[in-house]
């Protein structure tokens, strides 16, 4: 069974969705650790209650990004793992860190990338007047909120939506597609071809490659 380390910075609801999927038998992974850059992240307590090893590496104790990322990598690599899952981890990572985990570092971003990389995605979507918004799970590359898309989910933007109502609608989709993407990784079904993600058919079906799309 594949082993994953989850990185969080706050409440950790995506992490909780993975724990719930694992417990329901829908996510065949061993969650070996949850690590935060914030000692007070609420998600650390949730993980500990679920019996998962928790750690923090407080970014405020480091002079710069290189030193912090080196300490974070040391903490992660203290656990045998196959995949590192960024779940609301609110730190920009250095190129060296990203390269170290190339092809085994996933992120979820609350927009339909490449639209709205960076912060305040829901506010910006409302300001732009887009009618469709969503979330993206992708492999991480050194460019912020960029990298081969694994899966996306779209939601309508409704008249009268606020940042909060839009965020809530999208969060529901995040909790659906992130465990799904990690499951595909756990099943060895994700392949990178020319910078694109290809999803292999389920083992029981024929082995043709199909495109992951909007689910
Ligand atoms: C999510 O919206 C995620 O897409 C973004 O940060 C938020 C984290 O929420 N990167 P949670 O900590 O998983 O509840």
- Is the CB of 10 within 6 Å of ligand 1? yes
Q: Of these residues, 55, 59, 100, 109, which one is catalytic?
A: 109
Predicted pLDDT of residue 202: 84
Predicted pLDDT of residue 109: 98
Predicted pLDDT of residue 214: 62
Instruction: Dump pLDDT digits (tens) for 56-104.
Output: 999 999 999 999 999 999 999 999 999 999 999 999 999 999 999 999 9
How many Å lie between the centroid of ligand 1 and the Cα of residue 23? 21
For residues 183 and 27, the answer to whether their CB atoms sit within 8 Å is yes
How many Å lie between the centroid of ligand 1 and the Cα of residue 177? 13
3-state DSSP call for residue 113?
Answer: coil
Q: What value does the mean pLDDT take over residues 172-186?
A: 98
Q: Taking each helix axis as running N to C, give the angle between helix 163-186 and helix 13-23, from 0 to 180 degrees, rounded to the nearest 10.
A: 40
Q: Where are the domains of the chain?
A: 2-191
- Is the CB of 14 within 6 Å of ligand 1? yes
- Is the CB of 180 within 6 Å of ligand 1? no
Q: What is the CATH number of domain 2-191?
A: 3.40.50.170
Q: Residue 165: which residues within 8 A CB-CB, separation 6 or more?
A: 158
How many Å lie between the centroid of ligand 1 and the Cα of residue 160? 23
- Is the CB of 134 within 6 Å of ligand 1? no
Distance CA 109, CA 1 (A): 26
Instruction: Dump pLDDT digits (tens) for 110-121.
Output: 999 999 999 999
User: Could you confirm whether 109 is annotated as catalytic?
Assistant: yes
Q: Which atom of ligand 1 is nearest to the CA of 89?
A: 10
């Amino acid at each position: 069974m594949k082993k994953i380390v989850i990185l969080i910075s706050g409440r950790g609801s995506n992490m909780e969705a993975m724990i719930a999927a694992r417990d329901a038998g829908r996510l065949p992974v061993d969650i070996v650790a949850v690590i935060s850059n914030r000692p007070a992240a609420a998600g650390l307590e949730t993980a500990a209650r679920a019996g998962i090893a928790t750690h923090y590496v407080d970014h405020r104790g480091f002079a710069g990004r290189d030193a912090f990322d080196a300490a974070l990598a040391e903490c992660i690599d203290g656990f045998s793992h196959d995949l590192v899952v960024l779940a609301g981890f609110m730190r920009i990572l250095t190129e060296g860190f990203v390269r170290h985990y190339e092809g085994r570092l996933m992120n979820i971003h609350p927009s339909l990338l490449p639209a709205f990389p960076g912060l305040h995605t829901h506010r910006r979507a409302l300001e732009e007047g887009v009618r469709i918004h969503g979330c993206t799970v992708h492999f991480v590359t050194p460019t912020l909120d960029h990298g081969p898309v694994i899966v996306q989910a779209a939601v309508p933007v409704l008249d009268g939506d606020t940042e909060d109502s839009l965020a809530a609608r999208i969060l529901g989709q995040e909790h659906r597609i992130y465990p799904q993407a990690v499951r595909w990784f756990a099943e060895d079904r994700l392949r990178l071809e020319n910078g694109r993600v290809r999803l292999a058919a389920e083992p029981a079906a024929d082995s043709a490659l199909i495109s992951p799309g909007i689910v």
